[in-house]
Amino acid sequence: MEWTQMNNYKIIKKIGEGTFSEVVKAQSLKDGKYYACKTMKQPISSLEQANNLREVQAMKRLNPHPNIIQLHELIFDKESGTLSLVCELMEMNVYEFIRGRQQPLPDSKIKHYMYQLCKSLDHMHSNGIFHRDVKPENILIKQDVLKLGDFGSCRSLYSKPPHTEYISTRWYRAPECLLTDGYYSHKMDMWSVGCVFFEIISLSPLFPGTNELDQMTKIHDVLGTPDSSLLQKFKQSRGMRFDFPPRKGSGISQLIPNCTAPSLSLLYQMLAYDPEERIGARAALQHAYFREIRQGERRADSLRRAIGIMEGGDRGGAPPSVDPLWRAARQGMRQHNIKHVAQPLVRRHGSHYPAELPKLHVTVPAPLITHPVNTVPAPLTITNHGSLPAITSKKCHSRLAKPREEPQHAALRNYYMPPLDRKRGGY
């Protein structure tokens, strides 16, 4: 493609390439900042079609959020039909972060990352969207801030099944995705989160199946076969018959013997075979595993309120419990208290973020016409029967030299492409 058409950006280097897109690191000539620019290989016929892409609509609906990747602007070349998504640039993805590590990560760091990941999924699900391709490559990190990316495969929570059958990468695909003809829900995301959780703890994938049957075998090796009534429910929505001999799994604790009890408890709830029994993102945030983070958030809340009262010059109706904090702030001891507050600081209050979505600049490179911001449609209104715009499913080749996925299965566009030398599996 002609990168020279991006007149407002200087291309620094290619980050990665997939079947349907290419990603480069680019520097804005306007503000000097660096961005990740994802250019679609499939031509787009119009700006309207570009704005109606499921990935673009989802990013506009979900932003702003501290754990969702930010879309900066769209660049549409009318002459060639080329569409580029300019997004914030992160340092690395989770796969790159844990690749080659010899020592396990501290539990506090794992907890910090998993809490942010659950925050991102809770935000998505509460906005009527589920991701469908949660995996280490699509989870991005920068200075200990975690953000979820790659929304090209997302779907409305209110769309009716059957959905696309082969959607998420096999290693992170939930049993209901493997055993039914597309009858799955947003709970599939939580299964994937459980697989990522295990991988961050152990530095190895949990269920690295080489094909669908091997994938189910690996799941049963660890978790055992489910109750026959659940299998029967799956069979009702599957054209092909399947049977699994009863088996008792080895258990997750045997694979990560040094894992704490709260970690194991949350892992098992994320990896519940029955999606109806699987924990949701919001409930996961309230799990005992994250108790210390929640307590830190509450302390940070109290401290901010106390400092806010002090800076307002009136303690007014400040409760007695806040008085010591207020006095400490008044005496110039704020830093002494702040350093004891657990990170990350609270981001639960909507008032901390703009009430409206950030302006999305739609740029058409010269000699094309520049489209003003108001040409970008507003975020979709969520209704009980709404759905994200349909987009034709694409198929992609496996990324493994040693196949991780069968070549005939569908693949998904990566927002943040893996390293060029990446040889991990397919779809």
DSSP secondary structure string, 125-167? HHTTEE-S---GGGEEEETTEEEE---TT-EETTSPSP--SS-
Angle at the Cα of 343 from the Cα atoms of 91 and 313, rounded to 5 degrees: 120
* pLDDT tens figures, 129-151: 999 999 999 999 999 999 999 99
- Residue that wins the pLDDT comparison between 84 and 380: 84
Q: Which of 133, 214, 274, 301 is catalytic?
A: 133
pLDDT, average across residues 388-411 = 40
Taking the chain, what is the end-to-end CA distance rounded to the nearest angstrom? 26
Look up residue 389 and give its DSSP letter: P
Kindly state the average pLDDT of the residues 78-85: 90
- Is 38 within any annotated ligand binding site? yes
- Whether 133 is a known active-site residue: answer yes
The pairing of beta strand 71-77 with beta strand 361-363: parallel
Half-sphere exposure of 370 (CA within 13 A, CB side): 10
**Highest averaged pLDDT of the listed ranges 190-204, 223-237, 346-360:** 190-204
pLDDT at 60 over 80: yes
The count of other CB atoms within 10 Å of the CB of residue 161 is 14
Kindly write down the DSSP assignment for every residue of 316-352, as one continuous string: TT--GGGHHHHHHHHTT-HHHHHTTSPSSPP---GGG
DSSP 253: G
Confidence of residue 152 (pLDDT cuts 50, 70, 90): confident
CA 411 to chain centroid, in Å, comes to 17
Going 272 to 278 to 281 to 286, the CA torsion angle's sign is: negative
